Structure 1
Amino acid sequence: MSTAVARILGDVPADRRGQIVPRRVAVGAGEQGRRPAEPLPVSRLRPAYQQVADQLRELILGGSLSPGDRLPNEADLCASFGVSRSTIREAIRVLSSRGLVYTLRGTTGGTFVNRIRGEDVSDYLEASIGMMSGAQDITLENIIEARLILEIPAARLAAERRTEEDLEGMSAGLLMEAGEPDWLRKTVGQRSFHSSLVAASGNEVLQVLADPLLAVLASILKPPALEPETVQAVHADHVEITEAVRRQDPDAAEDAARRHLERLAELYRSA
């Protein structure tokens, strides 16, 4: 076990490790002249493997364990947490299922802290939001509102921060949108435009959050849902936003994005 990781795990209080095993406590016992209190039942805690996984997760998210760091081997983890090998293995499986760690085999193998990419988070959110929407756990209005909150300010930031490369990305989306007669390919151009617009904001978190919403909403509009005139109006909106971003006019970009997204919101509601 590396010195740094050993120190980190060594900092886990002994009594906290002991919480892995459910206990019963007695209140008032031992006081002279009083009847010993009956032990009070304590609700069974979460499974031991979940508690180990949670503590390791805290170390990872808190930065004590960094991407690429190797976790201690099973024996060291067992000693640190006071649990069995099967418990440690199950805890590692939990962390792996959440994309926090990965395991390599061989002499140089082990379990390592993963490096999460923005695309991975977006893919997970897209699938999760899509499933929640399909199960009606979230409404169309929830998704529309979230997109307005994210993308309108992103358009303003794009006008302030855009680079020539950003403009090229937006223009490529416009060309694909305008030049494709096929509806599905046209929607790819539309999504590419919006993704490039948010990317031009220079804020990767906005892009991670906005792209999944765009993908879920794009699945709502099927070919019969939009008339040719509407498709042309949407394209004209995109051109207007692009020109405002090109001129580096934040007010115009924000206003054009708001009007465009409100137009789309009505289309989603009527689809």
Structure 2
Amino acid sequence: MHLNHVSIFLSRKMIKTIVLSMAVTSIVVVTGCASKPQAKGGNRYVQQAPNYYTVRSGDTLSAIANRYGLNYLDVAALNDIAPPYRIYVNQSLRLKGSVAQRTTSTQAVAQTTPIQRQSINLPPQQQPVVPKTQPVVPKVAPTNPITPTSTTLASSLHWVKPSNGAVIQSFNLANNVKGTRYGGNEGDPVFAAANGQVVYAADGLKEYGNLVLIKHIDGYITAYAHNSKMSVKSGDNVTAGQKIAEMGSSGASRIMLEFQVRLDGKPVNPTTVLPN
């Protein structure tokens, strides 16, 4: 019985020794794994950073940099990424390289910024010059539609009356009549007042209905409004006296032709250029 107790005691002691040795071995293994060298900042993956990284869904520049223990500003400089540092899926990012590149790119931005500011500041310097000349133009403008321009025009173009109808309303800017209005019947012919080119033939302006615009030399344009039918189209060359439309009431309350003459965009009294 005494020997049995001794053998049992020895068996238990051996088991404890084995268990303790296994525990020590496990501690050594764990300690060995934890004692691998780490880079500054405690990020063990710095040395494993690839030369290039492909952006995945959900990635941000700062998250990628932190993953490899890098400064996101350096990564942005290496890849020419400007604030707010946006990246996109499948974009290839360079993770290794000289940080000096960021300084170079920063200097380049600093050099271009003043140039942009100078280009923006130039117009304000020119603007004060323009208003000084503009007040002079309105003072001269009222004299433009008078005798000198009409005399020059009469010697440059051969003019004819645009309609055979009677005049029902004359040029009167105070009453917003910017031309001469002729009466007649629907379908009466409308003639080109001078040689020129049709630059518009459509009904895009409701107040003028079917409208034809003809461009002439010396900066003159003639307008023929309220037609029932147009016989020309944009781009057509016409001669004085050629039929270009038929009288109607489109855009008006009665049948008539509203004929306008404009010089450099300003209305001119048609009687100063048309034959008596």
What TM-score bracket applies, with the shorter chain setting the length?
under 0.3
Radius of gyration: which is bigger?
2
Question: When you count strand as a share of all residues, which structure comes out higher?
Answer: 2
TM-score (structure 1 length as normaliser): 0.17
Larger RCO, structure (CA 8 Å, separation 6 or more) = 1
TM-score after normalising by structure 2: 0.17
Which structure has greater helix proportion? Answer: 1
